[in-house]
Structure formats: C-alpha cells, structure tokens
Amino acid sequence: MEGVRGGRHRHSFPLPSLLLPLLLLLSSATPAAAAYAAEDAAAISRFRQYLQINTSHPNPDYAGTTAFILSLARELALDSEVLEFVPGKPLVLLKWPGRDPSLPSVLLNSHTDVVPAEPLKWAHPPFSAEVEPETGRIYARGSQDMKYVGAQYLEAVRRLRAAGFVPERTVYLSFVPDEEIGGRDGVGAFVAWERFRAMRVGVVLDEGLASSDGEYRVFHGERSVWWMVVRACGVSGHGAKLYDNSAMENLMKSVEVIRRFRAAQFDLVKNGVKAEGEVISVNMVYLKAGTTGFVMNLQPSEAEAGFDVRVPPNIDTEALERRIAEEWAPSSRNMTFEFKEKDSIHDMFGKPAVTSADSSNPWWTLLEGAIKRANGKLSKPEIFPASTDCHFFRKQGLPAFGFSPMANTPILLHDHNEFLNKAEYVKGVGIYESIIAAFASNGNHGSQSTSKGIKDEL
Ligand SMILES: *[C@@H]1O[C@H](CO)[C@@H](O)[C@H](O)[C@H]1NC(C)=O
Ligand SMILES: *[C@@H]1O[C@H](CO)[C@@H](O)[C@H](O)[C@H]1NC(C)=O
Ligand SMILES: [Zn+2]
C-alpha cells in the first residue's frame, strides 16, 4: 500500500521510469500484500463483532463478551478461566504460559463494559459498528473506550503466535467487568483474589486516551477522587431582611473562595504551566438550600454544595485538607464538610501511586523502545485526569501504564459518534505486537548493552 501510494506522488517522472519500479513492486509484493490485507480485514471483522455486543450499563451483555473472548482464546490456544467474584459480572482471564514461570508476568488488562449511548444522537447505530466507506471510520460505543485495546491485545498475540514467538514470561490477558461504574466488582475484586499474588504480575498495561496529533499518549498515574460536600448553617429569617450570618451568605463566601482556587489552578493549565492531570480540579456539581423545599420569602437555616475534587498523586494532601478546613468550610463560619468518597493518593506501601516513567524503571525503557521500534511516537508521560482501573493495580504497588495507541483521533470516549479509524486500529496491533514481544522477552532483544541490566533488575 505504502509503495503504491508513494508512486502516485512521483507524477513528474517520465512514464517508463515510473512504470518499471511499479511493475516490479506489484509483481513481487502482491501475494504478501494480499495476505496482509486479508489478515487485517479478518482482524477488523473480529473487532466489529466485539463492538456489536451491547455491554452498555445498566445491563451489560457480559455473557456475550465472555463467549466471544473464550472462542478467540480457543482459536489462539490460550488457557482460559472465567472468574465470577460477583454473580453476573464475569472476568475472563487468559494465560499464555511463558517458558520461564519463575519470572514476573505481564498483565494486559481491558474492561468489557461501556457507558450507555443515546442512539438518536448518533449518525450510526452505536452497537452496529458500521464502517463509513469514505473515511474508514468504525462507529461504535466502545470503539475507543476500550474494546479497541482488548481486541488489539488478542490480535497482537495472534500475530506473534503465527510468527512462532514463544514468550519467556507468562502473559495474562484480563477482560474485566464493571470499570465504568467504579470497578470494585471487577479489578477491585481481582487484585484482592487470593490467587492474584500467585500470578506474580510484574507490569500492567491498561487504557489511556486518544490523541489528536501523531503522538501516542501514555499515563503513569491518576488523580484521586475526593467528593466533598460543604454545609453551612446560619440564622434563618424573612426573605426581605438584610442581616449577617445567614446560611446562604456563609455558603456563598465558601463558594467564592473555592471558585478563586479553581480559577488559579485552571490558569496554570491555560498558560501551559501544568498539564490537566497535574493540577487540583474542583468543580461544583450541586447546590441545595432549605430544609422544607424552597420558600421564596424565607432565608433558610441550612445550605450545602457538592464538589467533585480530583487530586494529583504528588501533592501535599495535608495542606489541601488544612485549606478545606480553614478556608473552604471554616467552623468559625458555622460550616462543616464531609467526604462522600476520598481515595488515597498513596499505594499500600505509603508511596505516591505513580509508576516511574524514566530510565529508573526498566519496564518504561522496554515500553519506550518497543513503541519506537514499531514506528510509534510517544508524548511526555502524563497523569490521567480522571480514573481508570489502573489505580487498583498501582495501589498494589505494581507498575501500570495507561496506554491506548490511538493517534490522529479526536477524544470521543463517553461522547456521541465514538469512532476509530480502521487503519489506526491495524497500526495499533503492530504497536502491541512490539510491546508484548519486548515485555515477554526478558530483555533479550534490542540493544545488547542494556539487555543485561534489564534482565537483572526485572
Ligand atoms: C443496550 O443495552 C441497554 C441496557 O443495558 C439498553 O438500554 C439499550 O437499549 C441497548 N441498546 C441496543 C441498541 O440494543
Ligand atoms: C453560627 O450559628 C449560630 C447559631 O445559629 C449563630 O448564633 C451565629 O451567629 C452563627 N455564626 C456565623 C458566623 O454564622
Ligand atoms: Zn475505559
């Protein structure tokens, strides 16, 4: 394909000099090219089958995905197991045994569930996985988040198997439920499973985000969720009276202080000083006042506001807590606060739950090298602004990277008309082929000078 396309741009050459190489190219490359095209078409058709299974909440068709994944596992001769930590929420665990089971293993994780879609707002039905002929876009809920990645892991394994590759380390593929509703019954239960430790996972890959330019994004940490309710009490009174210390006045002073903090954090992002995942985001999600509903001529004695706060892994949380107690909800202003949800930024060993993304981490070196060898470009490692299943793994102290090889693609996860281009899908399979080969090879590849060091450290 590339050769033919390149040839088209050489129109200024005289005809014979253009024709000869083209003919040579066609005669030698056609059978192989045809075989590749057929393989890619088969891979895309399997991807579309996966997308056509409606795993949307609140009633995901997990039986459908389980049967589908097990049938592919049989084709690929992978060991399989269906784990049901919570009835009706199966986790499919596949295993490609490594030659040396004493080495830490590689875990490729993906979730099978998707968020609901509103079919009327879509140009193509969200579970038909139609391919738009002019653009090659495959439209479906889950095409980016994240059936794409799960299907690609399997295609990469298929290619490696066909090429005769035998992994040194064991490679596990987990297809998990529940991520879109918090993941507690999926990866949360998986990492707590008594046999999880026996899998001796050394590194985890999970989802990232699409990027609109040519570089792949990679995430090595996540912001933690702090859902906070701030409440104010105050003197109630007639709606016509001006007086101090009403609950609404007390609350609005806090809202103003929090709003200024939010603006300052946002300015850091707007001015390019920090990336989105590196600042504390605070968004007010509801306001409520009164105890008996709203009465227009009464100033209520209670008022509250809810905030979705997201906290990056490297901040001083004590300082933030002090700020909340002293400035956002001071008791001197008759205010209290409560966390509806407050995730730790630390792993179980008390360290910030961040995976090193530099040469101090041999898995990072392998990942970077593998992507480069597959002609992919990686952008600077980032902190994921929201949450994914990755945080469960990092909490266990495991290195985990959020990575979905989707370049030149608008971010449409959870949006209408989610799509992925066919060519981008196929390219990503090659990226995973390279990564899995590198991770599973125990460092016996690439530059000799680094392989020994990596082998010793892993
Ligand atoms: C997909 O499943 C959800 C239930 O989880 C249902 O509400 C929705 O209508 C289904 N969509 C289609 C196209 O069948
Ligand atoms: C706090 O509440 C008490 C009791 O309602 C009230 O007397 C006092 O003025 C309030 N103070 C402030 C700062 O709102
Ligand atoms: Zn996802």
Q: What is the CATH number of the domain that holds 123?
A: 3.40.630.10
Whether residue 122 lies inside any domain: the answer is yes
Q: Count the alpha carbons within 13 Å of 243 in the hemisphere toward its beta carbon.
A: 15
Decide if 135 is inside a domain: yes
Options 178, 179, 185, 347, the catalytic residue: 179
Region of poorest pLDDT, from 100-104, 171-175, 177-181, 446-450: 446-450
pLDDT, position 196: 98
Domain annotation covers residue 267:
yes
Q: How far apart are CA 283 and CA 279, in angstroms?
A: 13
- What is the spatial distance between Cα 167 and Cα 200, in angstroms, rounded to a whole number? 15
Q: What is the CATH number of the domain that holds 331?
A: 3.30.70.360
Same structural domain, 267 and 361 = no
The whole-angstrom separation of Cα 415 and Cα 251 is 34
- Ligand 2 center from residue 332 Cα (angstroms): 9
Residue 422 placed within a domain:
yes
Ligand closest to Cα of 114 equals 3
Residues 73 and 199 in one domain: yes
Judge if 265 and 391 occupy the same domain: no
How many structural domains compose the chain? 3
Asked if residue 329 lies in contact with residue 335, where contact means CB atoms within 8 angstroms, the answer is yes
Q: Which two tokens stand for residue 345?
A: 């930024």
Same domain, 73 and 206: yes
Same domain, 198 and 325: no
Please report where in the chains the tokens 């996985």 appear, as a residue.
129
Q: Are 281 and 385 in contact (CB under 8 A)?
A: yes
Say yes or no: 108 and 180 in one domain.
yes
- Structural domain range at position 452: 41-222+352-457
Of 406, 416, 419, 412, the closest CA to residue 134 belongs to: 419
| Residue 266 within any structural domain of the chain | yes
Catalytic residue status for 276 = no
Pocket of ligand 1 (CB under 6 A): 54, 56-59, 119, 127
Whole-prediction pTM:
0.86
- Same domain membership, residue 432 and residue 360: yes
Q: What confidence tens digit (pLDDT) does each residue in 343-399 have?
A: 999 999 999 999 999 999 999 999 999 999 999 999 999 999 999 999 999 999 999
Contact (CB, 8 A) for 99 and 166:
yes
* DSSP per position, 368-422: HHHHHHTT--B---EEESS--THHHHHHTT--EEEE----S----TTSTT-EEEH
Among 28-32, 174-178, 221-225, the range scoring the smallest mean pLDDT is 28-32
Q: How far apart are the first and last CA of the chain?
A: 39
In this structure, are 212 and 64 located in the same domain? yes
Same-domain status, 23 and 102: no
397: Cβ contacts below 8 Å, ≥ 6 apart: 347, 348, 349, 351
Same domain (yes/no): 81, 45: yes
User: Tell me: the pLDDT tens digits for 193-236?
Assistant: 999 999 999 999 999 999 999 999 999 999 999 999 999 999 99
For this structure, is 179 an active site residue? yes
Q: Is residue 437 part of a domain?
A: yes
pLDDT at 6: 32
Same domain, 125 and 7: no
Token duo for residue 304: 């509250």
Q: Is 391 annotated as a binding residue?
A: no
Q: Is the Cα dihedral 372, 374, 380, 381 positive or negative?
A: negative
> In the structure, which protein residues have their CB atom closer than 6 angstroms to any atom of ligand 2?
233-235, 245, 250, 333-334
Mutate to test the pocket of ligand 2, among 236, 291, 334, 335 (most ligand atoms within 8 A of CB): 334
**Same domain flag for 55 and 153:** yes
Check whether 46 has a pLDDT greater than 80. Answer: yes
Asked if residue 95 is part of any domain, the answer here is: yes
Chain segment 277-296, per-residue pLDDT in tens = 999 999 999 999 987 778 89
Spatial distance between the Cα atoms of 146 and 359, rounded to a whole number of angstroms:
29
Instruction: Please tell me the number of the ligand nearest to residue 126's CA.
Output: 1
Instruction: Judge contact between 438 and 169, C-beta under 8 A.
Output: no
Does residue 347 sit within a domain? no
CA 126 to ligand 1 centroid distance, Å: 10
